[in-house]
């Protein structure tokens, strides 16, 4: 697959306890997170409200590598198995950066087996989040390009910090095509016409413009992002869980079913793209410019 790289572009807790101290069962599972090596997520569960927080904790930019994706999946798995857990807020431990998207280092001259595992992990995290039984809110406390935007789009509600932060699926600016399920998630959120523009132009939206097109639901001062997410979560939790969950399943089911049907084909296509020598040349050039980048928004 050919890749056209444009170097001008780019750049784009109440009893609540830290990771593991929540309830006994969760405490045990959380110990698992940090047993072998430092976890790249911080998980809290408020015993009183049933609301969990997952903080992406891979400084400096929370780029999604295999470990971070695996840690998110493990955390979600464990939270979803806990009956008392009804909601989850996804945020970052690094104010100013929610998530910089996929970790380019996972795609730069990778071993094919590792790259496949990486892509499958991304697919699994998307599928789990998009179909989660939990009420989910993204507390976007910083930049959220590409895969970062995708993560937030899986949630039921998005609160973003005011400031010079950008959010959007900017893949085309990098000479990449956002996979169909990235596109579907965007279209389901902002509608077909706006998604057409956003995806083809690789638009990175300012908070104000993201609010205008419905990409985010609230824009608040940075210090109010978590509080706003927690207050909004109470609204979602007033709805009987089963009714809310079945409605979500009906709304998102067709997108998830289409994804499952084409999941393997998607892995094969991406592998072909990543393993292509022209892609690797472009990525090498891009990685050099990444240090001197500047994101510009609409």
Ligand X SMILES: CCCCCCCCCCCCC/C=C/C(=O)SCCNC(=O)CCNC(=O)[C@H](O)C(C)(C)COP(=O)(O)OP(=O)(O)OC[C@H]1O[C@@H](n2cnc3c(N)ncnc32)[C@H](O)[C@@H]1OP(=O)(O)O
By Cβ distance, which residue is nearest to ligand X?
101
- State the nearest-atom distance from the C-beta of 31 to ligand X, in Å: 29
Please indicate whether residue 191 is annotated as part of the active site: no
Q: Which is nearer to ligand X, 46 or 65 (CB)?
A: 65
44, 57, 62, 170: which is the annotated catalytic residue? 170
| 171 labelled catalytic | yes
- For residue 222, how many other CB atoms are within 10 A of its CB? 15
Residue carrying structure tokens 């609409």: 298
The residue from 45, 56, 90, 102 that is catalytic is 102
Contact between 289 and 18 (Cβ < 8 Å): no
How is the beta sheet containing 205-206 ordered, strand by strand?
A: 96-97, 142-145, 166-168, 205-206
CB of 226 to ligand X, least distance (A): 20
The DSSP output letter for 16 is B
Residues engaged in binding ligand X (CB under 6 A):
3, 5, 11-12, 60-61, 63, 97, 100-105, 107, 143, 145-147, 171, 174-176, 178, 270, 273-274, 279, 282-283, 286, 290-291, 293, 295
Q: How far apart are CA 64 and CA 252, in angstroms?
A: 24
In this complex, which beta carbon is closest to ligand X, that of residue 205 or of residue 236?
205
Of the pair 57, 232, the CB lying nearest ligand X is at 57
Q: Is 96 a catalytic residue?
A: no
Q: Which two tokens stand for residue 277?
A: 């020598």
Shorter beta-carbon distance to ligand X: residue 201 or 290: 290
From the CB of 177, what's the least distance to ligand X, in Å? 7
Instruction: Confirm if 99 and 140 have CB atoms less than 8 A apart.
Output: no
Contact 287, 174 (CB under 8 A): no
Cα–Cα distance measured from residue 229 to residue 154, given in angstroms and rounded to the nearest whole number: 15
Beta 166-168 vs 205-206: how paired, if at all? antiparallel
Residue 260 to residues 75, 123, 256: CA-CA distances in angstroms?
Answer: 22, 10, 6
Distance CA 47, CA 133 (A): 18
Catalytic residue among 12, 50, 147, 168: 147
Q: Least CB distance from residue 169 to ligand X, whole Å?
A: 8
* Minimum CB distance to ligand X smaller for 45 or for 195: 195
User: Smallest distance, Å, CB 109 to ligand X?
Assistant: 11
> Containing H/E element for 248?
helix 241-274
Q: One of 44, 56, 169, 171 is an active-site residue; which one?
A: 171
Cα separation, 118 vs 112, whole angstroms: 10
Supply the DSSP symbol for 145: E
Q: Which of 119/236 has CB closer to ligand X?
A: 119
Closest approach of ligand X to the CB of residue 186, in Å: 12
Residues acting as catalytic residues: 102, 147, 170-171
């Amino acid at each position: 697959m050919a890749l056209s790289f444009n170097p001008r572009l780019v750049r784009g807790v109440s009893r609540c306890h830290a990771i593991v101290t929540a309830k006994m069962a969760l405490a045990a599972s959380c110990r698992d997170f940090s047993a072998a090596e430092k976890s790249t997520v911080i998980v809290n569960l408020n015993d009183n409200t049933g609301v969990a927080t997952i903080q992406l904790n891979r400084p400096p930019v929370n780029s999604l590598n295999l470990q971070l994706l695996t840690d998110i999946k493990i955390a979600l798995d464990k939270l979803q198995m806990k009956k008392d857990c009804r909601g989850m807020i996804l945020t970052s431990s690094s104010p100013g950066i929610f998530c910089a998207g996929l970790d380019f280092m996972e795609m730069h001259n990778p071993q094919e087996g590792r790259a496949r595992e990486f892509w499958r992990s991304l697919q699994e995290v998307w599928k789990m989040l998009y179909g989660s039984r939990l009420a989910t809110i993204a507390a976007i406390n910083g930049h959220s390009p590409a895969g970062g935007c995708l993560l937030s789009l899986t949630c039921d509600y998005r609160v973003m910090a005011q400031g010079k932060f950008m959010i959007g699926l900017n893949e085309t600016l990098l000479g990449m095509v956002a996979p169909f399920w990235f596109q579907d998630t965007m279209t389901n959120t902002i509608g077909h016409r706006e998604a057409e523009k956003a995806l083809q132009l690789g638009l990175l939206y300012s908070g104000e413009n993201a609010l205008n097109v419905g990409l985010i639901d609230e824009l608040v001062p940075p210090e109010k992002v978590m509080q706003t997410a927690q207050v909004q979560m109470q609204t979602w939790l007033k709805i009987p869980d089963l009714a809310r969950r079945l409605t979500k399943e009906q709304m998102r089911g067709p997108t998830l079913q289409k994804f499952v049907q084409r999941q393997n084909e998607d892995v094969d296509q991406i592998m072909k793209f990543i393993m292509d020598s022209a892609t690797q040349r472009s990525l090498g050039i891009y990685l050099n410019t990444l240090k001197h980048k500047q994101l510009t928004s609409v």
